[in-house]
Amino acid sequence: MLKKKICMVGQFGVGKTSLVRRFVDSIFDERYLTTIGVKIDRKDVSVDGKSLTLMLWDLAGEDDLAQLNVSHLRGASGYILVADGCRASTLEKAAELQQRITQTLGPIPFVLVVNKADLRDQWEVQSSQVAQYGWPTFETSAKAGSGVEEMFLGLAAILIRSHAASEAPGQ
Amino acid sequence: MSPSAHLDLLAALGYAVFEQSTDGSFHSLGDAPEWLPAGSLMEAFPFLEVFLPDAEAFWADPARDHSTLPSDFWTQTDARGNNLHFCAIAVAGEQKLLLIERTRLRFEQTQAFVQYAHQTKLAHDEIARLGRELQRATEAKSEFLARMSHEIRTPMNALLGVAELLSETPLNAEQGEYVRIFRRAGDNLLNVINDILDFSKIEAGQVELEYIAFDLADVVQEAIEIIGVRARAKGLCLNSDIRPEVPPRLMGDPGRLRQILLNLLSNAVKFTDRGGITVRVKPDADQPAPCTLHFTVRDTGVGIPFDRVSTIFDSFTQADASTTRKYGGTGLGLAISKRFVELMGGRIWAESTPGDGSTIHFTARFSVAETTTALEARAPKATAPAALANRALRILLADDSEDNRFLVRGYLRDTGCVIDEVTNGAEVVEKFKGGAYDMVLMDAEMPVMDGYSATRAMRALESERTGPPTPILALTAHALKEARDRSIEAGCTDHLTKPITKTALLEAVHRYAPEHPNAGRIHVAVESWLKPVIPAYLEKRRGDVAKLRFALDQGDYATIRTLGHQMAGSGAGYGFAEITEIGGTLEESALAGDAARIRDGVDALDRYLNNIVTE
Ligand SMILES: Nc1nc2c(ncn2[C@@H]2O[C@H](COP(=O)(O)OP(=O)(O)OP(=O)(O)O)[C@@H](O)[C@H]2O)c(=O)[nH]1
Ligand SMILES: [Mg+2]
């Protein structure tokens, strides 16, 4: 079966681990347990009638002391840039990570995710700020579950299409 | 130690040990620990995909012999759903060894450390975010209040103004009473609005105290006079007693002090039906500072129930909600007084025996005023507004509201002022260019060009001519301090808040009316290339006036002759034929020793210099 590596990247505490847990185990935990190193999960999905295994690499969030280890993205087919709608600085951090990753690995598919949509009345991130990047964007709530499945499957669909395009003869 | 002894030791420490073969695959050395999943190493540990390239580079580097390269931690979930934490170590030597460790303690220690750092940072961010939210909410609130007060004050201006005008027309007794009720209700409503506005400003931290010199006795007296009308109507007597140890001249905020006293006095009058009210001021016995004063307002009224004494200064509580209904008011007066007192570095408290009256105490810090300050020199002229009569000022009135223009016209009707009216900022500037006005009354919000821009344009025009600046009084419905700052910044001389009463308008017009109104202004066109030197020339001549008067007193005709001669020679050259003529007269009269004619000449020169406007 087709296997695709997808990395979760973003500032610490934005909800990377929670998004994966919601998607893989359908649970949410209010408690914050920061990720150290990498947490790897797998999930079989089917998109456009094709089955594939997603290897979800949940990378430790960046903070002032530790930078993302870009080598963890080696072999990734795509990645998910996560920001927390309640903290505007996490969106800037996401944009900065996107640049760094592109510099090292070249252009690979990704989506931008603004998480914690259940706290929208506390959001500091404006949709115009998000729109300025022109990236495929999802608003999610790992807590309520909204947008999570669409987001993962959305990226999976992008991966399948680009996979198909790269395999198609004469392209 | 033999190689197998090494392996035993590593196994005992919990490591799974692998060796890389020449074909690049890995085979296990020694016994596999029970936690090691079956199957291929890469299948079992996907993390190795990213670590092995680093390990390969490490093994390939001869300089790394006998050293180790640890990987990051990784976590994966076992079949039972437990999270297991691992880390790999590449060992360089004759063999390419890969150790895999299932860790718990080291992982948890690292996690505890990072967790603490992250949670601290998140808490800080959250506090900062709440701060920003609060700030935004406060701004929105004061913005809303400013707008509301504008919306309410504008029509109030018209209502109260018309009522004032109406009260000056011939009315029968019944009509007079109706108008009085109308005005009283309007005044009350305005007080309520002002209270709420004041209170919100304090809440938003927008109140700044003034620091100017004032006479304490004046402030106390004014408060007593204002409240006196109501006290007398109820048959109460109102007294004040300022102890001789209290310094008479203080520095502080007389306006706010007056407001506190007014609040306390009007409350006292409200709740007292017999007897009287006394204001006392003495140095605060508890404070070594000479200028911390202790004020008391004592009444012989109904008193405050014992259980309410401590809460009467809280917002929105009057001793009893029913008293609000009975006596009116927002119940904010005391809360406002409390905040003002606190801003003045003092405190406020109440003592009361129900049925036997109450005493409100408050303390406030001031400093002793030096002798006459510059501020006093600028204090408004103390003459009554009536003195305006027959001054025949030329006033330019700019307001887009017909109601407001009607009011101002009505207020100024008996003063003999001539009023030109325009309805927007552009027209005001146009008119100002052409005519000589003694004063401009400028509505701040007008279509086409607002009052602020118009004022700036007019000040720019003035900077090109000589003569004193024209007083421009801004009229706005905004009561907040920012509105005032904005007017002053635009170049307005002062700022009047609508609704404007007749008294306030007349007082302001009188205060800022020029000594020498434009009605007698002499306009002189001067050549443009001379413009830069004209101000200095005229200034010199103004100096001459003083010298001439002194010389005349001394009988020093020689000096008068010289000065007259100089003026006769220079005046016309600068475009002031009148100066040449007066100079000639002075020279002649000095030769003839004609003191009376000299005096006339000097007066004529003085008048001429004061009224001259160059263009
Ligand atoms: N209200 C709300 N809280 C969320 C949501 N997603 C995550 N959280 C909470 O946010 C905190 C951080 O979530 P994590 O998923 O651990 O964040 P992370 O990005 O993995 O953080 P690191 O591992 O430290 O980089 C936790 O307390 C979660 O419960 C969401 O959608 N809504
Ligand atoms: Mg995490």
What does the pLDDT look like over A53-106, one tens digit per residue?
999 999 999 998 888 999 999 999 999 999 999 999 999 999 999 999 999 999
In the prediction, which pLDDT does B136 show? 82
In the predicted structure, residue B384 carries a pLDDT above the cut 50: no
In the prediction, which pLDDT does B158 show? 80
- Judging contacts by C-beta atoms under 8 Å, the chain B residues touching residue A38 are 47, 72-75
| Higher per-residue pLDDT: B531 or B336 | B336
> Which residue from A32, A68, A116 has its CB within 8 A of the most atoms of ligand 1, so it is best to mutate?
A32
Element holding A114 (H helix, E strand): strand A110-115
| Higher per-residue pLDDT: B374 or B403 | B403
Token pair, residue B213, equals 């010199």
In the prediction, which pLDDT does B382 show? 37
Average pLDDT over residues B88-108: 92
Q: Where are the alpha helices (DSSP H) in A42-131?
A: 88-105, 127-131
Distances (CA, A) of B256 to B269, B337, B413: 20, 9, 34
Backbone angles phi, psi at B522, to 5 degrees: -110, 120
In the prediction, which pLDDT does A168 show? 66
Element holding A50 (H helix, E strand): strand A50-59
**pLDDT level of residue B520 (50, 70, 90 thresholds):** low
Who contacts B278 (Cβ-Cβ below 8 Å, separation ≥6)? B238, B239, B240, B241, B296, B297, B298
Class of domain B394-520: alpha beta
**pLDDT level of residue B521 (50, 70, 90 thresholds):** low
Rounded CA separation B135/B128 (Å):
11
In the predicted structure, residue B347 carries a pLDDT above the cut 70: yes
The string of pLDDT tens digits covering residues B23-50 is 989 998 888 888 888 888 988 999 999 9
**pLDDT level of residue B387 (50, 70, 90 thresholds):** very low
**Closest alpha carbon to B295 in B229, B227, B362:** B362
Is the minimum CB–CB distance between B46 and chain A shorter than 8 Å?
yes
In the predicted structure, residue B383 carries a pLDDT above the cut 80: no
Neighbour-count burial of B189, counting CB atoms closer than 10 A to its CB (0-12 exposed, 13-18 middle, 19+ buried): middle
Name B420's bridge partners: B396
| Pair B498, B153: CB distance under 8 Å | yes
The string of pLDDT tens digits covering residues A7-57 is 999 999 999 999 999 999 999 999 999 999 999 999 999 998 899 999 999
In the predicted structure, residue B64 carries a pLDDT above the cut 70: yes
Sign of CA dihedral B185, B188, B193, B196: negative
A90 lines ligand 1 (CB under 6 A): no
Q: Which amino acid is at B119?
A: Q
- Kind of pairing between the strands at B74-77 and B83-91: antiparallel
Is the minimum CB–CB distance between A12 and chain B shorter than 8 Å?
yes
Token pair, residue B499, equals 């609704």
ipTM of the complex: 0.93
CATH code for the part of the protein at B522-614: 1.20.120.160
In the prediction, which pLDDT does B348 show? 93
A135 lines ligand 1 (CB under 6 A): no
Q: Look-up: residue for tokens 């290897």?
A: A55
Q: Using the 8-state DSSP alphabet, how is residue B355 labeled?
A: T
| Pair B363, B349: CB distance under 8 Å | no
In the prediction, which pLDDT does B329 show? 54
> Which residue from A8, A18, A35 has its CB within 8 A of the most atoms of ligand 1, so it is best to mutate?
A18
A30 lines ligand 1 (CB under 6 A): yes
Q: Tell me the percentage of chain B whose pLDDT exceeds 90.
A: 25
Torsion of CA B175, B180, B186, B187, to 10 degrees: 170
Token pair, residue B114, equals 């990072």
In the predicted structure, residue B2 carries a pLDDT above the cut 80: no
B212-378 topology per CATH: Heat Shock Protein 90 (3.30.565)
- Judging contacts by C-beta atoms under 8 Å, the chain B residues touching residue A59 are none
- Judging contacts by C-beta atoms under 8 Å, the chain A residues touching residue B105 are none
In the predicted structure, residue B389 carries a pLDDT above the cut 50: no
In the prediction, which pLDDT does B208 show? 76
CATH code for the part of the protein at B3-103: 3.30.450
Average pLDDT score, chain B: 83
In the prediction, which pLDDT does B380 show? 42
Average pLDDT over residues B495-511: 83
Q: Using the 8-state DSSP alphabet, how is residue B469 labeled?
A: P
In the prediction, which pLDDT does B390 show? 43
A121 lines ligand 1 (CB under 6 A): no
Q: Lowest-pLDDT range, A71-75, A80-84, B103-107, B508-512?
A: B508-512
A114 lines ligand 1 (CB under 6 A): no
The string of pLDDT tens digits covering residues B205-222 is 667 788 888 999 999 988
Domains of chain A, each with CATH number or no CATH:
2-167 (3.40.50.300)
In the prediction, which pLDDT does B261 show? 94
All structural domains of chain B with their residue ranges: 3-103, 212-378, 394-520, 522-614
The string of pLDDT tens digits covering residues B568-610 is 888 888 888 889 889 999 989 998 889 889 998 998 888 788 7
Name B19's bridge partners: B27, B97
The string of pLDDT tens digits covering residues B416-452 is 788 889 988 888 888 888 777 889 999 888 878 889 9
Average pLDDT over residues B463-477: 83
In the prediction, which pLDDT does B411 show? 84
End-to-end CA distance of chain B: 110
| Pair B197, B145: CB distance under 8 Å | yes
In the predicted structure, residue A1 carries a pLDDT above the cut 60: yes
Whether the bond between B499 and the residue before it is cis, its omega within 30 degrees of 0, is yes
Fold matches, B394-520 and B522-614? no
In the prediction, which pLDDT does B614 show? 73
Kindly determine whether residue A38 and residue B75, on different chains, have CB atoms separated by under 8 Å.
yes
Who contacts B123 (Cβ-Cβ below 8 Å, separation ≥6)? none
Kindly determine whether residue A75 and residue B121, on different chains, have CB atoms separated by under 8 Å.
no
3-state secondary structure of B190: helix
